[in-house]
Amino acid sequence: MSGPSTYEPASGFTRWLDKRLPILRLAHDSFVAYPTPRNLNYWWTFGAMLSLCLVVQIVTGVVLAMHYVPHVEHAMDSVQRFRRDVPFGWLIQPMHAVGASMFFIAVYIHMFRGLYYGSYKAPREILWILGCVIYLLMVATAFLGYTLPWGQMSFWGATVITNLLGALPLVGESIKNWLMGGFAIDQPTLNRFFSLHYLLPFVIAGVTVLHVWALHEAGQNNPTGVDVKSKADTVPFTPHATMKDLFAVSLFLILFSVFVFYMPDALGHADNYIPANPLQTPPEIVPEWYLLPFYAILRAFDFNIGPIDSKLAGVLAMFAAIGILFLLPWLDTSRVRSMRYRPIARQFFLIFVVVCVVLGWCGGQNPGRILAKAGPFSATLTWVQGGQVVEAPVSASSEGGFDQAAAAVEQQLRGQGATLTAVRREGATQGVVRGVVGGAEQTRTVRGETADAVEAEITTVRAEVGAAAPFFIVERRVPPTFTVTNLSQVMTAYYFLFFLLILPILGLRETPGRVPDTIAKPVTDGKAQGAA
């Protein structure tokens, strides 16, 4: 893409250096002369923001490590001390914490950009896969980092995630203990998480170099998805892209600063200011916002799939949700890159974006929360006012014959005039049947918005009727409901269908929109026109 180097050393020293280490030539070819398509829009500026984020995280992180104590009893105090007592700690600690969120905002936009404009298609498959590797490393680094302040969310988030690995068959338990360095999240875990959290950003930096290398080899994609035809379609990276990137970065920094200076804790969870307590679980365990969609996918699996139990299914689905991105270049069969010229795929893409946001919302909700129901919860209580209680023991000859024996005794009581009977099993073969003879049978139906409200109503009725009725028959009716879990299931289904069904099939069947001749064909005959 770059073509032969156009670098010409200007001074004696740079000529001398160029013969020995052509590093200035590399920088010039990569960031000055490098040709970028002239039609790039602002969605192409997020790479610069991400580079900045990585630098910010590493610089602030190295500073934080100078003051942080990776010990279960001192970790939280050391972070608070840094923030309160260390000069400019109030600034640097929130920069790091907020920086993580900013990093993810930028990376998600960057990824959706790649998805929309087909930047993963040939010849950019490796570029895309390296990007996925960076994202995976970012997730791991963020998770490890969130553990370090050793608050309640740190501790319990780490517990939940390491327990996920325990769901793997056979090796799960060993891997879990290996990762934790013990039988629970404890000092060894905190120590190693700190070490790995310090290591991984440098691995990210390394993979980023490969990512940029792959980018410069294949050349940038552009909003039309049509390859640049000639030099006239491009402009040099400096000053065109650099200035534009700097402008976008400035806007990004304004957003960043609003959080750092005015609401440094808005993106975190208040419970993480409570020191970790292994004996007390917080009322709800939620990851940081940027991992919520995957948490929702994990929890969508509340049913077993054949031999795979619900827990393992959730874990596999969660990893598959990221893993499937690696296969995307081969799942999308369309020969058209940009969705600008794929009118149907574009609609599905917009739904996909909404689905990801809804999954994020689901991940933050109580999974049992009812979003819609077909009717109220209700229960019918039946009791007999003023009757005589009779009891008869059941004694079956074998464990399996209990139900039959109990039915016979029930029949016998009914024959004696009992209007209500109830069986209570008290052992393998033993039980008691109670019945009420005489009195007046009464019923009452209670309703409520939730199952708990109905239970409360039932208790009230029982207290009201009191000793007059020795026992009740309660028949509970649960209306069909649509919970957050159900919503997550629908959204998870779409997430996977988008990659596994919609993109492969649509790519073969869709009629792409017409690319204007001015884009499809070189119109300048390779000559630059106007001021570049």
Partner 1 sequence: MAEAASGAHEDETTRRDFIFIAAGAAAAVGAAATVWPFIDQMNPAADTLALSTTEVDLSVVELGQQVRVLWQGKPVFVRHRTPAEIASAQRDDYATLKDPQLDSQRLLQSNGQAGRPEWLVLQASCTHLGCVPTFVEGSAFGGWFCPCHGSDYDTSGRIRRGPAPHNLYVAPYVYMNDTTIRIG
Interface residue list for partner 1 (CB under 8 A) = 156, 159-160, 163-164, 177-186, 188, 192, 278-285, 299, 302, 309-311, 367-368, 402, 424-428, 455
288 phi, psi to nearest 5 deg: -65, 155
Minimum CB distance to partner 1 smaller for 217 or for 403: 403
H helices present in 219-309, as ranges: 242-257, 292-300
Minimum CB distance to partner 1 smaller for 176 or for 342: 176
- Whether residue 505 contacts residue 331, with contact meaning beta carbons closer than 8 Å, is answered with no
- Whether residue 334 contacts residue 345, with contact meaning beta carbons closer than 8 Å, is answered with yes
CB of 414 to partner 1, least distance (A): 23
CB of 309 to partner 1, least distance (A): 6
- Whether residue 128 contacts residue 332, with contact meaning beta carbons closer than 8 Å, is answered with no
CB of 454 to partner 1, least distance (A): 12
CB of 286 to partner 1, least distance (A): 10
Minimum CB distance to partner 1 smaller for 92 or for 158: 158
CA dist 196 and 198 (Å) reads 5
CA angle 491, 137, 351 (to 5 degrees): 20
Minimum CB distance to partner 1 smaller for 75 or for 100: 75
Q: Is 24 helix (H, G, I), strand (E, B) or coil?
A: helix
Q: Is 427 helix (H, G, I), strand (E, B) or coil?
A: coil
Q: H-helix or E-strand containing 446?
A: strand 440-448
Half-sphere exposure of 76 (CA within 13 A, CB side): 15
Q: Is the dihedral of CA 277, 279, 283, 289 positive or negative?
A: positive
Minimum CB distance to partner 1 smaller for 125 or for 302: 302
Q: Is 232 helix (H, G, I), strand (E, B) or coil?
A: helix
Strand partners, 236: 35
CB of 133 to partner 1, least distance (A): 21
Half-sphere exposure of 337 (CA within 13 A, CB side): 20
Q: Closest by alpha carbon to 221, among 135, 317, 141, 121? A: 121
Minimum CB distance to partner 1 smaller for 64 or for 165: 165
Minimum CB distance to partner 1 smaller for 160 or for 528: 160
Minimum CB distance to partner 1 smaller for 169 or for 438: 169
State the amino acid at position 172 in one-letter form: G
Minimum CB distance to partner 1 smaller for 428 or for 505: 428
CA dist 264 and 65 (Å) reads 19
CB of 426 to partner 1, least distance (A): 6
Q: Tell me 240's DSSP state.
A: I
Q: Rg of the Cα trace of the chain?
A: 32
CB of 308 to partner 1, least distance (A): 12
CB of 488 to partner 1, least distance (A): 13
CB of 279 to partner 1, least distance (A): 5
Minimum CB distance to partner 1 smaller for 84 or for 369: 369
DSSP, residue by residue, 79-112: HHHHHHTSTTHHHHHHHHHHHHHHHHHHHHHHHH
CA dist 399 and 358 (Å) reads 50
Measure Cα distances from 169 to 164, 166, 174, 313, 490 in Å: 11, 8, 10, 11, 27
CB of 374 to partner 1, least distance (A): 21
Minimum CB distance to partner 1 smaller for 276 or for 345: 276
CB of 299 to partner 1, least distance (A): 8
